Amino acid sequence: MTTLNEPQISKSFAIGIDIGGTSLKCGAVNESGEILFSFIVPLKHATTQDEIITLVAASIQECKEQLNEPIVGVGIGFPGVIENNVIIGGGDNLPGFKQLELGKILKNLTGYNIVIDNDANLMGLGELIYGAAKDCSDAIFITVGTGIGGAVMMDKKLFGGYRNRGTELGHIVIQQNGLNCACGGRGCLEAYASVTALIDFYKSKNKTASGKIDGKYIIKKYRSGEEEAITAMQHHFDYLAAGITSFVNVFSPQKVIIGGGISEAGSFYIDEITQRVKTAAIPVAFSNTKIVAASLGNKAGLLGCCANVFQKLKTLGYATK
């Protein structure tokens, strides 16, 4: 490890490990946002917390050997609440990982400097630094899928609230005493505007639909003019726009970035939401805001992991051999 008084390396590299419920997305990235290589490690045979940690440590070492360059550090994305590299909770699809000093454990196992944050936060940071909002300082990111996750970026940095416990954008309440949500609350944005909610609503309107019904199926039926699909999509647009309107009124971001597979449905998707938010938001709050689709796809998490390293560790002036 170099010190503050020693020369800086001319190029900076970081390793990213995005921990999901079924796999690890691993790779190395330079500060320009180039993914030098990446690979996926399945977790189907890792049935305990310790087995997953062992795989993470081994993946970090494999990345380092492939890169063969000094690294600033390792960025970890994790689906839960993280405070100072400690997993407070979450990761419902993973065994254990409660009140766990994961950063300290991985540093002891690998010798590398570790920074950990919520996976949705890091997807947003990836889009802010390298993707759809790279020309912005202030942005909101939401990913619309099975649930709704998100991130708030202020002055090019993630904002997580006190002790990094906030910015659960999918869980703002948009309907008092409304539908039950997976978080244990009621009336959350996720319960009304996620792809899961879209599918459930569509099935309630079209009880004769058969086969695999997912977001792509409903979009296809919507484009073909099916009445039930149009009703379901209008319901989805209305509720998602209601949530985004609240984000605009509070934060007045330069961009709202919408990620998740459904955001790739076509320009009509963003247009429908934009029209609703423009009508509902406080005009002065919306005046400098654009709503856009995410641009990095499934690379956002890995890039965000590494961007977090460059932001938090490079300023300390060291690289790990």
Domain limits, the chain: 13-123+299-316, 135-295
Q: How far is it, in rounded angstroms, from Cα 311 to Cα 305?
A: 10
Which of helix, strand or coil describes residue 70?
coil
Q: How far is it, in rounded angstroms, from Cα 138 to Cα 153?
A: 5
pLDDT at position 316, please? 58
152-183 pLDDT, tens digit per residue, is 999 999 999 999 888 999 999 999 999 999 88
- Of 285, 313, 312, which is closest to residue 156 (Cα–Cα)? 312
66-99 pLDDT, tens digit per residue, is 999 999 999 999 998 999 999 998 877 899 999 9
pLDDT at position 91, please? 78
What's at 294, amino acid-wise? A
- CATH H-level, domain 13-123+299-316: superfamily: ATPase, nucleotide binding domain (3.30.420.40)
pLDDT at position 320, please? 57
Does the structure show a pLDDT above 60 at 17?
Answer: yes
28-44 pLDDT, tens digit per residue, is 999 999 999 999 999 99
Same fold, 13-123+299-316 and 135-295: yes
Does the structure show a pLDDT above 80 at 18?
Answer: yes
283-312 pLDDT, tens digit per residue, is 999 999 999 999 999 999 999 999 999 999
Just give the CATH number of 135-295.
Answer: 3.30.420.40
Residues 206-236: b if buried by 16+ CB within 10 A, e if exposed: beebeeebbbeebbebbeeebebbbbbbebb
pTM of the model: 0.87
Does the structure show a pLDDT above 70 at 6?
Answer: no
Does the structure show a pLDDT above 50 at 113?
Answer: yes
Residues 40, 42, 46, CA angle at the centre, nearest 5°? 140
How confident is the model over 267-283, as a mean pLDDT?
97
Which of helix, strand or coil describes residue 23?
strand
Q: How far is it, in rounded angstroms, from Cα 306 to Cα 73?
A: 8
Provide, rounded to the nearest whole percent, the portion of the chain with pLDDT above 90: 83
